[in-house]
A and B are shown apart, each in its own frame.
Chain A
Amino acid sequence: MTDVQDKVVTTDKMSVAATLFRFQSVFGLIAVFVAAIIFSPRKNGAILFVSADNLANVVRAVSEIGIIAVGMTFVILIGGIDLSVGAVLGLAAVGSAVLMVENDWGFLPSVVLVLAIGLVFGALQGVATAMIGIQSFIVTLAGLQIARGLARIWSGGQGVAIAYGDGPKEAPTSFALLGERTFGGLVPIPVIIFAVVAIAAVVFLRVSAFSRHLYAVGGNEKAARLSGVPVVRVKIAVFAICGLLASLAGIVHAVQLNQGSPNDGIGYELDAIAAVVIGGTSLAGGRGSVAGTVAGALLLGVLNNILALNNIDSNIQLLIKGLVIVAAAALQRLRPTS
């Protein structure tokens, strides 16, 4: 009798711990959120951090890194890494601006071509790593240089400003709406795009046969291959998805800044990787989730915002962000391994 009770208690305790660890990034996000409320500056007694405008800013600022980080999650789940996403974002931003402003292309063809460029660029990186067998770190390091170079060549080396209107050298106004319009007067469109991407990715990873293959490849590539998983195809598809999402983020970037510059997105790959890591996805592959990544990206966004609201020196901000990443990774080491 005591034995049985004993057992029940232990399993309960274990599952509580397991849940805590499983949704670590969500609890981390809640903790940072609460801390932000506490440390928020106040104006006439109102907490600035939770004002609707400020929260909209937080999510707007997160949306680009968030979109990239979703793609990065896929790549990291198969045990790879993609360092080219920031440069692909820059290439896509330049592409959008040049096509619409200098070449007078319409909204839809421009967007479709830019997305296709990202997709193909990613797929080629996938081919290099899956078929030639070069490590993805090296492939995408090279990809980063190449995409940056292409962006510089395409833009003539400098930023291309986007002016709107119907005349020549003006981008269609529908493009501006993408950046400026809000949903319900509050939620910016880039946030909606991020939300759609994130939800689509979560659903995709839950229900698709492809996702099982993806997790298997990341978990044990050799076993996956022997089980008949099309390893090469999975890898190429994953890098293609990541490239596609990076160029989507590039379009969002261009509309938010009204320009496309070849220097856009420098270092974004590192922020995206940080969001994935904080989200609990294992760099070794085979373990992790997009939901975690979204929480990780939001956590970083809230942190950035509250530090900025308090006028914390930007160098100190970097320091604090670094410590948060280490703390998140350290917590994952404590995770009970079955």
Chain B
Amino acid sequence: MADLVRMAAIGKRYGGVQACHEVDFVLGAGEVHALLGENGAGKSTLMKILSGDITEYAGSIAINGTPVRFSGPTDAQAAGIAMIHQELDLVPGLSVADNIFLGRELRTTVRTVDRRRMEREARELLDRSGVGLDPRRPVGELRVGEQQLVTIAKAISLDARVLIMDEPTSALTSSEVERLFDVIRELRNSGVGIVYISHRMEEIAKVADRATVLRNGKIVTSFDPRKLSTAEVVEAMVGRPVQTMFTTPDSDTGDELLRVENLKLKARRPRPGRRDPDGISLTVRSGEIVGLAGLLGAGRTELLETLYGVAPGGIRTGRILLQGRPIRPRGPRQVLAQGIGFVPEDRRASGLVLFHSILANTVVSSLPSYGRLGVIARRMERTASVRMADRLRLKFGRLQDEVGTLSGGNQQKVVFGRMLLTEPKLLLLDEPTRGVDVGAKAEIYRLLGELAAQGLGVLLASSELPELVGVCDRVVVLRDGRDVASFSTADSGEGDLLAAAMGHGEMFDEVGGV
């Protein structure tokens, strides 16, 4: 295997923080090289240097043996390096095809945009990635997972020699992940070098040829991912032994907290790609963690939104009972006041004001309780914020720091803390560990266990099956906006969930891969 990329003694400082220190990284042609590490370990910095996003650094880079120094991302792209960012850089108003060919539109002989050819080629690219998306649909209408697939198709269309994927599967369903892996293997066979950043160990074992672990800006170890156990890798990442990721569920549950009976929502203006509840019944007892499983588009997010009163307008039928009393969710303010909190899926877009302080972000939902007559007692809100930060083991400098400076996991803890300060009885969580590193994940699980032990009820939507099985007492599976199965996690596994989520037709093709 020839060395496609050779990065030597790479160093990068941000103020007092050494993000990368003497890092040597080699990628061969036709190699899938996984990059592991907690958030803040230096993975992103290293890859931003390779993709030309960061132009000031120490050390040297050689592509195919020729030393290079990129002056920007365009420069790196010209050298055949493409990066798929974790933050999706798509233009919502443009169609899928327009996005894929943005900046290098195909032209007809009279220099106008050749829409037909772009759509045809986009369709081919999407088919190759195993996605049956209409290239004419506006990207803004797509779900996060589908958008992720579009960015991947776009990167493939660049015919890059080096492809950097930063958590490409965070919003994909298991079957989509499998198709993506087929694409990756195909690219590898054609000699493309792929850097694969992920927090999911089982994916790395399946797709990567080599794995490198970074910790505090330094390389800790490099290994063959098929030969090391998950526990060993996690230990290398966090630098200390980890007993168990998951807290064993406490089966000691109390009275019924939430009861949903045949909930249906008929939207006044149905949106494409949305699956509103179409007959969902479930219960959550106090002290119980109930999982919501289902494929992308099964209606998990839509159910949580309906319960929180933020679903689009329409006719709602069925009943929602909180502690036996019927409630009609009209909006977050009213629902929060009843004791139901919500942690949304996309913390950057709908959870936080990134450039506001940690303090402001933590207390915003519970402001009236710090003072009277609309005047805030600063000491009270500080105390509350500090107490919450301690309880969540938030890693931060000062309360005045901008939330955007925290790592993903710590940002998520801030959203959690905000909700907990409202002292809810029930928490609705939508993908609470997406884009969160292993250490923070374990802490969020521990926290959920603690909260449940104190009598809080939790309804947790997740597309990570190990998480659902590991954390929840019970899992309800949704399909096409209906609840189709319910499992106790004590006596069923990931396979059962997946089979129920996919329905019986597909079951036998797909379960084998999980």
What is the interface of chain A, defined by CB distance below 8 A to chain B? 6-7, 10-11, 14, 207-210, 212-213, 215-216, 219-220, 222-230, 286-287, 337-338
- Residue B375 interfacial (CB < 8 Å): yes
Q: Is the CB of B353 within 8 A of A212?
A: no
Contact of A11 among B15, B337, B354 (CB under 8 A): B15
Contact of A228 among B15, B376, B422 (CB under 8 A): B422
Q: Please measure, in the bound complex, the distance between the C-alpha atom of A207 and the C-alpha atom of B308, giving whole angstroms.
A: 30
Q: Is the CB of A227 within 8 A of B418?
A: yes
Q: How far is the CB of B36 from chain A (nearest CB, A)?
A: 27
* CB-defined contacts of A230 to chain B, threshold 8 Å: 333
Q: Which 9 A-B residue pairs are closest in the complex by CB-CB distance?
A: A219-B353, A7-B16, A209-B367, A228-B336, A220-B353, A227-B365, A228-B333, A222-B350, A228-B332
* CB-defined contacts of A225 to chain B, threshold 8 Å: 310, 331-332
Within 353-367 of B, Cβ neighbours of A (below 8 Å) are at 353-356, 360, 363-365, 367
Q: Is the CB of B364 within 8 A of A227?
A: yes
Contact of A226 among B344, B354, B363, B401 (CB under 8 A): B344
Q: Is the CB of A220 within 8 A of B352?
A: yes
Across the two chains, which residue of chain B brings its CB closest to A207? B375
- Residue B371 interfacial (CB < 8 Å): yes
Known interface pairs A11-B15, A224-B364. Does A287 touch B375 (Cβ–Cβ under 8 Å)?
no
Known interface pairs A225-B310, A338-B402. Does A213 touch B15 (Cβ–Cβ under 8 Å)?
no
Enumerate 15 A-B pairs (CB-CB under 8 Å) in ascending A order. A6-B16, A14-B15, A207-B378, A209-B371, A209-B374, A210-B374, A212-B364, A213-B367, A215-B360, A216-B353, A219-B353, A222-B350, A286-B353, A286-B355, A287-B355
Secondary structure call for the B interface: mixed
Q: Is the CB of A209 within 8 A of B368?
A: yes
Q: Is the CB of A212 within 8 A of B422?
A: no
- Residue B351 interfacial (CB < 8 Å): yes
Q: Is the CB of A216 within 8 A of B16?
A: no
Q: How far is the CB of A135 from chain B (nearest CB, A)?
A: 16
* CB-defined contacts of A11 to chain B, threshold 8 Å: 15-16
Q: Please measure, in the bound complex, the distance between the C-alpha atom of A217 and the C-alpha atom of B129, giving whole angstroms.
A: 39
- Residue B196 interfacial (CB < 8 Å): no
Q: Please measure, in the bound complex, the distance between the C-alpha atom of A14 and the C-alpha atom of B418, giving whole angstroms.
A: 30
B interface residue count range (under 10 / 10 to 19 / 20 to 34 / 35 or more):
35 or more
- Residue B279 interfacial (CB < 8 Å): no
* CB-defined contacts of A14 to chain B, threshold 8 Å: 15
Q: Please measure, in the bound complex, the distance between the C-alpha atom of A328 and the C-alpha atom of B402, giving whole angstroms.
A: 24
Q: Is the CB of B355 within 8 A of A10?
A: no
Q: Is the CB of A223 within 8 A of B342?
A: no
* CB-defined contacts of B402 to chain A, threshold 8 Å: 338
Query: Given A11-B15, A225-B332, 14 more contacts at CB 8 Å?
Result: A7-B15, A10-B16, A207-B376, A208-B375, A209-B376, A219-B356, A220-B353, A223-B352, A224-B364, A226-B308, A226-B310, A227-B364, A227-B418, A337-B355
Within 332-354 of B, Cβ neighbours of A (below 8 Å) are at 332-333, 336-337, 342, 344, 349-354
Central interface residue in B310, B332, B344, B404, by most chain A CB within 10 Å: B332
Known interface pairs A287-B355, A338-B405. Does A212 touch B367 (Cβ–Cβ under 8 Å)?
yes
Q: Is the CB of B342 within 8 A of A10?
A: no
Q: Please measure, in the bound complex, the distance between the C-alpha atom of A228 and the C-alpha atom of B339, giving whole angstroms.
A: 12
Central interface residue in A14, A210, A216, A287, by most chain B CB within 10 Å: A216
Q: Please measure, in the bound complex, the distance between the C-alpha atom of A212 and the C-alpha atom of B362, giving whole angstroms.
A: 11
Q: Please measure, in the bound complex, the distance between the C-alpha atom of A6 and the C-alpha atom of B18, giving whole angstroms.
A: 12
Central interface residue in A10, A210, A225, A228, by most chain B CB within 10 Å: A228
* CB-defined contacts of A209 to chain B, threshold 8 Å: 367-368, 370-371, 374-376
Q: Is the CB of A10 within 8 A of B367?
A: no
Q: Is the CB of A216 within 8 A of B360?
A: yes
Q: How far is the CB of A288 from chain B (nearest CB, A)?
A: 12
* CB-defined contacts of B350 to chain A, threshold 8 Å: 220, 222-223, 226
Q: Please measure, in the bound complex, the distance between the C-alpha atom of A112 and the C-alpha atom of B363, giving whole angstroms.
A: 37
Q: How far is the CB of A208 from chain B (nearest CB, A)?
A: 5
Q: How far is the CB of B368 from chain A (nearest CB, A)?
A: 6
* CB-defined contacts of A229 to chain B, threshold 8 Å: 333, 364-365
Q: Please measure, in the bound complex, the distance between the C-alpha atom of A207 and the C-alpha atom of B374, giving whole angstroms.
A: 8
* CB-defined contacts of A337 to chain B, threshold 8 Å: 355
Known interface pairs A209-B376, A229-B364. Does A286 touch B16 (Cβ–Cβ under 8 Å)?
no
Q: Please measure, in the bound complex, the distance between the C-alpha atom of A209 and the C-alpha atom of B404, giving whole angstroms.
A: 22
Q: Please measure, in the bound complex, the distance between the C-alpha atom of A335 and the C-alpha atom of B344, giving whole angstroms.
A: 31
Q: Please measure, in the bound complex, the distance between the C-alpha atom of A225 and the C-alpha atom of B308, giving whole angstroms.
A: 11
* CB-defined contacts of A10 to chain B, threshold 8 Å: 15-16
Q: Is the CB of A212 within 8 A of B333?
A: no
Across the two chains, which residue of chain A brings its CB closest to B344? A226
Across the two chains, which residue of chain B brings its CB closest to A3? B16
Q: Please measure, in the bound complex, the distance between the C-alpha atom of A227 and the C-alpha atom of B421, giving whole angstroms.
A: 11
Q: Please measure, in the bound complex, the distance between the C-alpha atom of A6 and the C-alpha atom of B17, giving whole angstroms.
A: 11
Q: Is the CB of A226 within 8 A of B367?
A: no
* CB-defined contacts of A208 to chain B, threshold 8 Å: 374-376
Q: Please measure, in the bound complex, the distance between the C-alpha atom of A337 and the C-alpha atom of B367, giving whole angstroms.
A: 27
* CB-defined contacts of B16 to chain A, threshold 8 Å: 6-7, 10-11
